[in-house]
């Protein structure tokens, strides 16, 4: 059974969104003069966030895998970030 350790009370006020840095979803090098991330996901979040009433911060994913269960039952990757309360939201397009 999956168990998540986080509080849902404020998770929609300011979303921390780990994202894999992969073009065109999140460009590795923002264009010259850019003040924030660029790519499909930041563009999408810029449109959705005001409509849904939340702020967001895109952060590079700490791992390079979506998730895999280890022999001891623990998880690595983005799934581990969710389960350990490091992140409450994950943005992926596959």
Condensed to tens digits (0 to 9), the pLDDT of residues 15-31 reads 778 887 888 888 877 77
Angstrom distance (rounded) from CA 40 to CA 13:
22
Angstrom distance (rounded) from CA 33 to CA 36:
9
Domain 14-83 adopts which CATH fold? D-Maltodextrin-Binding Protein; domain 2 (3.40.190)
pLDDT at 2 over 70: no
Q: pLDDT grade, residue 91 (50/70/90)?
A: low
Buried b or exposed e, range 32-46, using 16+ CB within 10 angstroms = eeeeebbbebbeebe
Whether the link from the prior residue into 84 is cis, omega within 30° of 0, is: no
Stretch 60-77: mean pLDDT:
87
Condensed to tens digits (0 to 9), the pLDDT of residues 27-43 reads 877 777 777 888 888 89
């Amino acid at each position: 059974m999956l168990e998540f350790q986080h509080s849902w009370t404020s998770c929609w006020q300011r979303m921390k969104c780990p994202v894999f840095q992969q073009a065109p979803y999140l460009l590795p090098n923002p264009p010259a003069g850019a003040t924030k991330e660029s790519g499909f996901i930041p563009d999408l979040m810029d449109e959705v966030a005001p409509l849904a009433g939340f702020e967001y911060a895109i952060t590079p994913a700490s791992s390079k895998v979506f998730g895999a269960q280890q022999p001891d039952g623990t998880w690595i990757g983005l799934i581990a970030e969710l389960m350990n309360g490091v992140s409450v939201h994950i943005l992926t397009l596959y």
